[in-house]
Chains A and B, each alone.
Chain A
Amino acid sequence: MGTLHFKIATPEKVVYEKDIFQVSIPTTMGEITILPHHIPLVSVLQTGEMRVKDAEGEHLIAIAGGFMEVRGKNEVVVLASNAELETEIDLDRAEKARQAAIDQMARAKAGEDIDFARLQATVDREMNRLKIARKYRKLPPPKEN
C-alpha cells in the first residue's frame, strides 16, 4: 500500500514528521483524507482536528490556520500557524487562554480598539485544542459559552 512522508511545520517548530498511512485534514472545502499516491494538491486549512494514522495507531492533532500541500512522490506538507499533538496540549492553559480571549472580546464589544476577528480565531483555536485534549483523555467535551 505504501506510505506517505508527512510533515507538519509551524513558524515555531516542526511538530510532526513521520511516514504515515493516511491523514484526514480539515480544509475550507471540507475534510479531506489523503492516501498514498494522491495527486498533487494545494489547499487552505481550517481550525479543527487532523487525524493521522501511522505505525503506532491514530493520532489527533489540533491545527489552526495555514495551508497544506501534497507533493508528488508521496509527500505531504502541512504549514499551520498552530499545531499541537493531542498528548502535548495543556488543558489548563488552553482553558485559561480561551477565557482570556473571551474576556477581551467582551471588552472589544464595549468599544475598545481590539482586533475582533483575531480574537474570534483565538477563541476557536483554544476551543479546538480543548476539544481534542478532552477527547484524548476520554473526558466529556468542553462546554460552549
Chain B
Amino acid sequence: MAVNTKAIKRRIKSVGNTKKITKAMEMVAGAKMRKAVESAINTRTYATLAWDLLVKLSKQQKVKLPLLQVRQVKKLLVVLITSNRGLCGSFNANIIRKTAEQLNNPVNIGRQRAKNGHLEPVKDLAIDVIGVGKKGADFARKMKYNLIASFSEFSDTPKLDDIWPISKMVLEEYEKKNYDKVIVAYTDFKSAITQTAKLRQVLPISEVDLEKMLRDLGEHGDDATDIAVVEPKLEIDEYLFEPNAQTVLSIILPKLVETQIYQATLESAASEHSARMMAMRNASDAARDMIKELNLNFNKARQAAITQEIAEIAGGAAALG
C-alpha cells in the first residue's frame, strides 16, 4: 500500500504542475486576445469609411480599373490565415477543414458572382495557396497544393506594415493576370466563445462580398459603425474630385484590398488567442478535476494502509495475549 500512496502523490504533483502551466497560458492568451480584439475593432471605422466612399464613387461612373474587372477564372489564389503555434483547440483544424472542403469543389469557388448572372470557371481550374502562419503552410504542403509563399513572421497584433508584403504580392499577381480571383480564408471573431471559419473574395472587388464582410463586422462589438447608412445623402454629381475620380479610385481600391486582408489577419489573431484561452481553460479545469479525484484516491489508500496496520497490530497483540 505504501508504494501506491507514493505513486498517487507523485501523480498529483505532476498534474498540479501541468495545471500551473495551462493556467499561465490561459492568462497570457487572455491578455493577448484583448489586445487583438481591440485592434480588430479599431480597423472597422477605416474599412467602413473607405467602403462608403467606394460605393459613392462607383455610383458616379463605371470606371474600368483592373481591380474591378471580372474575368473568367482559370487560376485561383487562396490566402489561408492560420496560427503559427498549436495548443489552441480546434482553431486551425476548423479553418483548414473549411478551406479543404471548398477547394474540393472548384466549380463553386471559382464561379464569378455578379448581379447579372454568373460566370462559370474553366474546367481545369488551378489553385495556388499563400500560407499565413505555419499551420496553414504545412497543410498546403501536405495536401500537395501549390504553395507560392508562406508568411509566418507576425507578431500577435500585426501592424499594417507587416502585412504589406502579402497585399503587395496579391495585388501585383492579380494585375499581371496570373490569377483571376483571390480568396482569403480566415477566422471571424464573433466573441470569446464563438469563432467561425470564413472564406471571402477580395479580388476582383465585388460589392456582394465587401458588403458581407462589413456586415459581419457590424454583428459584433458594441461600437460597430452603422453600415446600413451607405446611401449618400447628396447627389453624387455634387462631389468635386481632385485631381479626378479615376486617380482617386486607383488609390482607394488597393487600399481597400489591403485593409480587407489586414482586417482578416486581425480577426484571425483575435480568434486564435481566444481559442487558445478556451482550450487552456478547459485543460486547467480538467487538471483540477483530476487532482480532486487523485486526492480522494490518495486519502482512501492512506486510510486503507492505516486500517491494515491497526488490524495487524491488534492481531499481533491478540496472538501474544
Contact = CB atoms under 8 A, between A and B. Distances in A.
A77 B49 contact: yes
Nearest to B46: A9
Size class of the B contact interface (CB-based, 8 Å):
20 to 34
A92 B307 CA distance: 74
Contacts of B39: 12-13
A81 B161 CA distance: 10
Interface of B: 39, 42-43, 45-47, 49-50, 53, 57, 159-160, 164, 168, 233-234, 238-243, 245, 247-248, 251-252, 255, 258-259, 262
Given A11-B259, A67-B248, A79-B46, A44 B242 contact: yes
A61 B239 CA distance: 26
Interface in A18-42: 27-29, 32, 39-42
20 contacts: A11-B43, A11-B258, A11-B262, A12-B39, A13-B39, A13-B42, A14-B42, A29-B242, A29-B243, A40-B240, A42-B53, A42-B239, A43-B242, A44-B243, A66-B251, A67-B255, A69-B49, A72-B238, A79-B50, A79-B53
Interface in A62-112: 66-67, 69, 71-73, 77, 79, 81
The 4 A-B pairs at the shortest CB distance, nearest first, are namely A43-B242, A13-B42, A9-B46, A41-B240
A75 to B, nearest CB: 10
Contact of B252 (A27, A67, A77): A67
A144 interface: no
B167 to A, nearest CB: 11
Contact of B49 (A9, A13, A41, A72): A9
A119 B184 CA distance: 27
B239 A41 contact: yes
Contact of B168 (A27, A29, A79, A115): A115
